[in-house]
Structure 1
Amino acid sequence: MDVDGVAQRLGFGAADRAWLRGLPVGEEVQLPDEAESLMEYCGVAEADRREMLAARPDPARDPDWWAVVSAMAGQLDQEMGQPVPSTGFKAWPTVPASASPVGLFAAAWALLAHLPRLLELHALRGVPETVSIATVSALGGVMATHRQITGRAGVGLMYLWGPPLRFRGADYEIGRHDFTRVQLGLGDGVSGHVLMMHIPPIGPLDSHASERSVATAAESFARWYPEEPLTAFVCTSWLLDPQLAEYLRPDSNIIRFQQRFNLLPLVPPDDPTEGDRELMRLGLHLPVPDGPLNDEALAQVPQTTTLQRAYVTHLRSGRHWHNRTGILRSGLQWGSNPLLSELQA
């Protein structure tokens, strides 16, 4: 399978072609016969189910997109059940804006094809079905967000981080947070295991719900993955940018969440606008322009909420927002979980 030639014909950029070129090429993907019921299990709304079924790839009719789906499914095959290595995970790329509906749903079909195998893994590890359903609901969630931000059905115009990790068994949604199994590397192989905390857009960041989520995760992963003893909880997010404290109330959910972490020193990104774009996409749920975030772009940001006003004021002052990384502070009482207390000792 000439994935590079396929990607070039479809209009992928050089960086995304390189990503696709590096994917393992195995057997062709097997799409499920019971696709609609599996979509419903994944929380996909009825309108998106109809659009996705109409965009089901066919190897004879859509050979190029079929090759892309097979390559993405090949990555899931190779990495199924594995934690994220210390070198990290690269998001699945966006498709060209000119992509057909088949292209816009290509990644979704690769994910759905692996749902039966993922559920087998969950059952083997003792993951309850309630967690399985919450975890795979990321597929329905990303479709809803994609439609909201881009105005088009599918998943292809957004970089995909969470769904590929969830459908390979590396990430689980437990209450308010989802948690990614990550290997800790300190220069000489695997040195430990951490859980990366994420804050999916499923409602307010309530501190009590957050505490319960972390405590339950500590107990659950100790049972599901006893061979991966937990070293720490780590979070990388725009939510941890301490500059937010200049604009938000001290008792706001975001500031209270920040106070639970020790921040690592800021590593300046190659692109100084990286955090600006991340906050715009994930925090404000707005489409990010390809060009600069100039006055014209900022004028499109609503000024209804405190966060929206803070975002614009901060950038117009010549400053930038940052994604920051923090480690869950020791000595905090995240419920009465004895395992978590031991981890923090």
Structure 2
Amino acid sequence: MDVLSAAERVGFSERDRVRFQPVENELRVPDEAEALLEYCGVNAADRQEMLAARPDPDRDPDWWAIASALAGEVERDLGLAVPSTGFRGWPAVPRDASAVGLFAGAWALLANVPRLLQLHADRGVPESVTVATISALGGVMATHRQVFGRAGVGLMPLWGPPLRFRGADYEIGRHDYTRTQLGLGDGVSGHLLLIHIPPTGPLDVQASEESVATAVESFKRWYPEEPIAALACHSWLLDPQLAEYLRPDSNIIRFQRRFDLLPLLTPEDQSEGDRELMRLGLQLPVPDGALTEEDLAGVPQDSTLQRAFVTHLRSGRHWYGRTGMLTGWN
């Protein structure tokens, strides 16, 4: 079945439909699905809801085609670093999607777990790192339920999980790291690690430094053919405007000081950074376009970050995801 036509029928926008890549693949649901879900850190309630929403090619042909295409993409790119041209994550499903649709991306990821485990074993990745890495699936489901009040993964765009389940991203201590090619116009010129900050608790400076040191040594062993040229981070956490609201000794500001910022590339959509901070930093549902006063009125005002978010936007300014190069790592 044509995945682009299937995506149109279930309600994806034209912009999101083009993200789906026709891949010759049939979704292979693992026989040990429940055990694998538990291994991926999925709690009992979400496991049962996902198993009840198992896609069927006859009953759910459109979602079957979409899940098959996504699974085929992960399998095709297994073991590959992110190219210098980047990676566009999987789009959120339409808000009126069925339960099968809400779990389609999760089934695509789960189908590749056996191959991912073999890749990790071949590269010498310890099981503790493997478990931490694929537990992202359980974390995404828990966040999805918390934010949207519904089981699944589909109402959030998925960037990190597809990379984790193809072996391009690993969680090591406080951070996870994406293997990325560095290109300078005429091909691959080197390799770098992109640092991410999962929303798993305080951004403790010591834990962060230990994570970086462990990652650098680990990737030297696991991927010796990819010598690390630099470590970089792109995040709302690096927006220097946060210093106007947070204490100088706060974990976020101390984290910022470890990076040299690249010049800001102003996004075409001025609200892009606002939505990123709202979704990732505040873990709240985000609108499709610019935030309205009604959206801001719904943001709790319990933490300094929550208050800063609202105050900043009400002053007519915007938040930005910024890119920085880590200093002193080698």
Measured against the shorter chain, the TM-score band is over 0.9
Unaligned runs of 5+ in 2: none
- For each residue in 1:82-113, what CA deviation from the matched residue of structure 2 results, as whole angstroms up to 9, or x when unmatched? 00000000010111111110010000000000
2:6 matched to which residue of 1? 6
AA of the residue aligned to 1:200: P
Q: Distance in 2 between matches of 1:293 and 1:74?
A: 36
Q: Distance in 2 between matches of 1:27 and 1:199?
A: 33
1:209 matched to which residue of 2? 207
2:186 matched to which residue of 1? 188
Shift of 1:292: 3.1
SS in 2 for 1:215: helix
- For each residue in 1:140-173, what CA deviation from the matched residue of structure 2 results, as whole angstroms up to 9, or x when unmatched? 0000111111111000110001100000000000
1:1-345 → structure 2 map (5 Å cutoff): 1-20=1-20, 23-330=21-328, 340-341=329-330
AA of the residue aligned to 2:87: F
Q: Distance in 1 between matches of 2:57 and 2:248?
A: 56
Q: Distance in 2 between matches of 1:176 and 1:194?
A: 18
Q: Distance in 2 between matches of 1:156 and 1:35?
A: 19
Select between 113-122 and 6-15 the one with higher mean Cα deviation: 6-15
- For each residue in 1:106-153, what CA deviation from the matched residue of structure 2 results, as whole angstroms up to 9, or x when unmatched? 000000000000000000000000000000000000001111111110
SS in 1 for 2:177: strand
Q: Distance in 1 between matches of 2:315 and 2:60?
A: 49
Select between 91-100 and 181-190 the one with higher mean Cα deviation: 91-100
Unaligned runs of 5+ in 1: 331-339
Alpha-carbon contact 2:179-2:192 (below 8 Å) kept: yes
Q: Distance in 1 between matches of 2:48 and 2:36?
A: 13
Shift of 1:291: 4.5
AA of the residue aligned to 2:68: S
Alpha-carbon contact 1:24-1:78 (below 8 Å) kept: no
Alpha-carbon contact 1:118-1:168 (below 8 Å) kept: yes
SS in 2 for 1:130: helix
Q: Distance in 1 between matches of 2:312 and 2:300?
A: 14
Shift of 1:69: 0.7
AA of the residue aligned to 2:116: L
Using the size of structure 1 for normalisation, the TM-score is 0.94
- For each residue in 1:29-66, what CA deviation from the matched residue of structure 2 results, as whole angstroms up to 9, or x when unmatched? 21101101000000001100000000001112111111
SS in 2 for 1:105: helix
Shift of 1:24: 3.9
1:334 matched to which residue of 2? none
Q: Distance in 1 between matches of 2:97 and 2:326?
A: 42
AA of the residue aligned to 1:181: R
Q: Percent identity?
A: 72
Q: Distance in 1 between matches of 2:241 and 2:13?
A: 34
SS in 1 for 2:18: helix
Alpha-carbon contact 1:143-1:153 (below 8 Å) kept: yes
Q: Distance in 2 between matches of 1:296 and 1:4?
A: 35
AA of the residue aligned to 1:106: A
Q: Distance in 1 between matches of 2:240 and 2:319?
A: 9
Q: CA RMSD in A?
A: 0.9
Q: Distance in 2 between matches of 1:276 and 1:294?
A: 11
Q: Distance in 2 between matches of 1:326 and 1:290?
A: 27
1:337 matched to which residue of 2? none
Q: Distance in 2 between matches of 1:299 and 1:236?
A: 28
SS in 2 for 1:302: coil
AA of the residue aligned to 1:179: Y
AA of the residue aligned to 1:276: D
- For each residue in 1:286-334, what CA deviation from the matched residue of structure 2 results, as whole angstroms up to 9, or x when unmatched? 111234312221111111100011111111111110000000013xxxx
Q: Distance in 2 between matches of 1:318 and 1:11?
A: 34
Select between 24-33 and 66-75 the one with higher mean Cα deviation: 24-33
Q: Distance in 2 between matches of 1:292 and 1:265?
A: 24
Alpha-carbon contact 2:10-2:94 (below 8 Å) kept: yes
SS in 1 for 2:280: helix
AA of the residue aligned to 2:28: Q
Alpha-carbon contact 2:175-2:198 (below 8 Å) kept: yes
